[in-house]
A and B are shown apart, each in its own frame.
Chain A
Amino acid sequence: MTTFLRKTHPTTSRLFTTALLGAAVMGASAQTFAQEDDPIKVGILHSLSGTMAISETVLKDTVEMLIEQQNEAGGLLGREIEPVVVDPASDWPLFAERARELLEQEEVDVIFGNWTSVSRKSVLPVVEELNGLLFYPVQYEGEESSENVFYTGAAPNQQAIPAVNYLHDLVGVERWVLAGTDYVYPRTTNRILEAYLKEEFGVADEDIMVNYTPFGHSDWQNIVSEIGRFGSEGKKTAVVSTVNGDANVPFYRELGNQGIDAADIPVVAFSVGEQELTGIDTGPLVGHLAAWNYFMSVDTDANYDFIDAWLEHTGEDDAVTNDPMEAHYIGFNMWVEAVQKAGTTDVDAVKDAIIGVTVPNLSGGSAAMMPNHHITKPVMIGEIQDNGQFAVVWQTPSTVAGDAWSDYLPGSRDLISDWRKPMECGNYNVAENRCMGSDAEEALAED
């Protein structure tokens, strides 16, 4: 059908009939065509106030920058792109309301947004009901695959598992501290990791210490001293940290002050990036690790161009870039490409067209959209440097495809996700040969 459109000679009347024909065939509403000259609307759903503003504001700026760049390059399908920014104010139910507002009133063609898993879970029913598109740019716990959501951040097998492998194989770690903030992402990730450590490396129960702290925890004295004791029993110990957001600054300060050195007990973090380190003096933290799919220090021309554009956009010389920003960069370009491929911004057409789309990432490779709505990413381990940046010390030889359902949890082991026809299912059970639909959550909850 798209080839048919392309072959048509560009005389006005024929173009019009073709368009009408195309519209009829694709089942797109007449309204879409009434807006031919109107801008394409892109919704941005990131908190600009409240606790999460610290992380999410830069993502809003990133999408705005990407839209500006696209418009300078001639827009999309010959139309201008217009950002529609709303502020869900770090309030989870408000995320759902704002998403509804974007889809129903503003009639946006796509939404880029969310940071925390709980906010994504709150938006999920809305985008599914109203058949919207959501690009979610943050690493998350997996165990989810929605027809309307594209996960451009890392699934656990693209971050947590490779990081643990690195520590075990190359650093020789035998004792593990799993420290996290008390909410769904750390709890699920730690459950996967605990199962993985026991299954793959035969780690004993007494060699795993699990610790949860509330959001914004600021008094880390006791926990850090306990980690120090746990790590001084003669076996090489590492901390796997899923501590989120603000709580990291006092955590790292306490590590530095109590003299826990990265050479003795390295801390590998999944939620600490360049942005989080801007609040800390990194001198005492040199050598602690983070696992991501992108670091600002990556040495490629694409990355330098991105950084230059970002510095210019923010007008700050010391602005930093981070992994979720790269995820938006990839997600935005994938969407643009899919829209061009489909020749329309119609949600169903874009959804079909985007699977298999490959765009360059910022680390010199490329990212492809998989049938399970996750993307391929390289996994990198970086060590903190004294200038607040990470130096990459290890990297997967090739990219890793995101796995929506973990292979290490009993309930999700048999599930796969494939949104291509004819399966079109986000949680197909290969053992029972059926699509679980909404049963999947209940089945998982029983475990």
Chain B
Amino acid sequence: MWIPCYAVTTRIVTCLLMGLLSWLPMTAAAQQQDGQALLEALDTRSFDDKAAAIDAIIESEQSRADVWLQALLDSDLQRLKDDGRFVIALETAGLDVTIEDALTGEAMGEVSRRDLDRLTINNALRSQLRSAISLVELYNGDEDARLDAAEGLIGDVEEAQVEPLTNRLDEEPSAAVRNRLNQALAVYRLNQGDVDAVEVLAGSLNSNIRVALSRAAQSDDPLVVDAATAALADIEQNLKINRAAETLYFGLSMGSVLVLAAIGLAITFGVMGVINMAHGELIMLGAYTTWAMQQLLPGQPGLALILAIPAGFMVSALAGVAIERGVIQFLKGRPLETLLATFGVSLILQQLVRTVISPQNRTVITPEWMSGSLVVNDALSLTLNRMYVLGFALVVFAALILVMRRTRLGLEVRAVTQNRAMARSMGIRATRVDIMTFALGSGVAGLAGVALSQLTNVGPNLGQNYIIDSFMVVVFGGVGNLWGTLVAGMSLGIINQVLEPWAGAVLAKIIVLVFIILFIQKRPRGLFPQKGRAAEG
């Protein structure tokens, strides 16, 4: 198979693949000697010299060159201090590192990290290594890798590359990759002043293409200027729509966080009328449960996260029961004292976590399937972790509505809150219902904690950041109304995200708060006030 060779960046003259596939048979000893020399060149403080050394490796005919480059990119290429041998770190456990010989690939056991010198790279070298590796992948990688490689070429094509890329276009089976290659070539032609290239680029939202078009719009050729300006206007229009969609997504996502944090409170405060200042700490307990599950199941963050959902619910629900039995039941009908007492509980829980676990934040790992984003188009991509949280919030909400509407517990809760004396005379054990309701509200707070562990810090202060927002959402939505909480949370999220770009994060928060205060003046019972006899209770 003939493989074309061309320059990717100014530095790389020959392509890696050619070097790898067609290396001349050499004696193993000569190979190693050259290899040692090539790697020696990398061990310098100057990053310019390192860049030259990397080029030398790319051009070399070493069989392990690809392994070295990958190891260098991953910062695994290291050097033993005593005898200067180059090794590749395979695994790090505490202070010990498992290594293999870089030249021969022979395993060398474990050494202390004190004995090793790491060969560091910087961002410039990282890009150099990546483009060298991705170039190889344009020819033999899987479709995703080829697509990434082609995308990386947009705005980066040089004269020497045009011909091999045009040839590659005929061989490429995937339409998406062909499209990217076409665009990459068109940007090159546009930069040369070819007006027809604009046609290929029109409608694309890729930022490199936009930059190329705006540069063309300021060129000397009136034909090119007109075509580029028209294409740009079209793109700007399209970008605006995408930006609006993005803001809506941001708003819904922020809203889902607010709803999750507030929905448990909507039950304990909204339905039962208990002001529970320790609600935030119940959220925190849920988040710590996620961390604990991941500690118990090392290497399986996804499974641990799923198991943390029931576990977090149980932990927070039990903590909630303890708070209800230990504090709140003695303060029934005395909201001010409940407020102060539960505030005390919240401080105790925070300090407990600080003393027992650590004042430091804990690392909760995001499973592979929740990281990154879903790319809709070049200008719009939706982050996956937030999408899962949005879905989770809706599921929790639906489940709660079902519990309140369709189960006996829900019926009893509604009965007890509407008329406690009457409910008791009908044989409902009001105290038991109190406990169950509080446990339910607390458990939902735990679920919120499990979800939040994927978005924010898991530390002792986690709850404090959400308690004010939670009360705000419940009051705004209408106390005692679950739908109100959903609508209030989502709309506050969207308002906040719409305001943020032009008002700044600090001012946006203030404006939202002022808006709610004014709104409550006008409608003291919130968006969805309770009607009928229940409202007087």
Task: Provide the bound-state CA to CA distance between A275 and B505, in Å.
Answer: 26
B381 interface hit (Cβ, 8 Å): yes
A222, B497: Cβ atoms closer than 8 Å: yes
Q: List the B side residues contacting A278 at CB < 8 Å.
A: 360-361, 363
The reply on B30 being an interface residue by CB < 8 A is no
Known contacts A234-B214, A250-B457, A278-B361; decide if A263 and B130 are in contact (CB<8 Å): yes
On whether the beta carbons of B505 and A246 are closer than 8 Å, the reply is no
Residues of chain B contacted by A225 (CB below 8 angstroms): 246, 250
Within the complex, the shortest CB–CB distance from B376 to chain A, in Å, comes to 13
Q: Is the interface of B mostly helix, strand, loop or mixed?
A: helix
Task: State which of A54, A284, A383, A394 has its C-beta within 8 Å of the C-beta of B359.
Answer: A54
Specify which chain A residues have a CB less than 8 angstroms from the CB of B121 in the assembled complex.
391
The closest CB in chain B to the CB of A213 belongs to B505
Q: Mark A253-294 against chain B: 1 for CB-CB distance below 8 A, else 0.
A: 110111100110010000000010011110010110000000
Nearest Cβ distance between residue B335 and chain A, in whole angstroms? 26
Please measure, in the bound complex, the distance between the C-alpha atom of A318 and the C-alpha atom of B505, giving whole angstroms. 35
- Contact flag A391-B383 (CB < 8 Å), given A214-B505, A216-B461: no
What is the chain A residue whose CB lies nearest that of B119? Answer: A391
Q: Which of A182, A226, A392 contacts B120 (CB 8 A)?
A: A392
- List, in ascending order, chain B residues with CB within 8 A of A393's CB: 47, 120, 122
A299 interfacial contact with B, CB 8 Å: yes
A219 touches B257 (CB 8 A): yes
Q: How far is the CA of A256 from the CA of B366 in the complex (A)?
A: 11
With an 8 A cutoff between CB atoms, is A249 at the interface? yes
B92 close to chain A: CB less than 8 A: yes
The yes or no answer to B117 lying at the interface (CB within 8 A) is yes
Interface size bracket, A side: 35 or more
User: Is A223 an interface residue, CB under 8 A from the partner?
Assistant: yes
Rounded to whole angstroms, the CA-CA distance of A275 and B362 in the bound complex is 11
**Given A182-B506, A222-B501; A246-B361 close (CB under 8 Å):** yes
Q: Assuming the A-B contacts A182-B506, A218-B456, are A257 and B371 also in contact, with contact meaning beta carbons closer than 8 angstroms in the complex?
A: yes
B383 touches A254 (CB 8 A): yes
B29 CB to closest chain A CB, in angstroms? 32
A101 at the B interface (CB under 8 A): no
Q: Residue A330 at the B interface, CB < 8 A?
A: no
Interface size class of B (residues with CB under 8 A): 35 or more
CB distance from A335 to the nearest CB of B (A): 26
A268 vs B497: C-alpha distance in the bound complex, in angstroms? 26
Give the docked Cα–Cα distance between A304 and B115 (Å): 11
Distance, CA A266 to CA B124, complexed state (A):
11
Mask: chain B, 344-368; 1 = CB below 8 Å from A; 0 = not: 0000001100100001111101100
Q: A48 an interface residue at 8 Å Cβ cutoff?
A: yes
In the complex, A386 Cα to B75 Cα: how many Å? 9
How distant is B235 from chain A, measured CB to nearest CB, in Å? Answer: 13
Asked if residues A51 and B461 are in contact (CB atoms below 8 Å), the reply is yes
B123 contacts chain A at the CB level, 8 A cutoff: yes
Minimum C-beta distance from B143 to chain A (A): 19
A-B contact pairs, 28 of them (CB 8 A): A49-B351, A57-B360, A171-B123, A218-B456, A219-B257, A219-B496, A221-B386, A222-B250, A222-B497, A232-B210, A232-B211, A233-B211, A250-B455, A253-B366, A254-B383, A256-B371, A258-B383, A262-B126, A263-B127, A279-B360, A279-B361, A279-B362, A279-B457, A284-B371, A286-B126, A297-B118, A383-B120, A386-B75
By a beta-carbon cutoff of 8 Å, the part of chain B in contact with chain A is: 47, 74-75, 92, 94-95, 114, 117-118, 120-124, 126-127, 130, 207-208, 210-211, 214-215, 246-247, 250, 253-254, 257, 350-351, 354, 359-363, 365-366, 371-373, 381, 383-386, 455-461, 464-465, 496-497, 500-501, 504-506, 509
Give residues in A with beta carbon < 8 Å to B: 48-51, 53-54, 57-58, 171, 182, 211-214, 216-219, 221-223, 225-226, 232-234, 246, 249-250, 253-254, 256-259, 262-263, 266, 275, 278-281, 284, 286-287, 297, 299, 304, 317-318, 383, 385-387, 391-394
Starting from the known contacts A48-B359, A216-B465, 16 additional A-B residue pairs (CB-CB under 8 Å) come to A49-B350, A49-B354, A51-B464, A213-B505, A222-B505, A223-B500, A226-B501, A232-B208, A232-B210, A246-B361, A250-B457, A253-B366, A259-B372, A279-B361, A281-B366, A393-B122
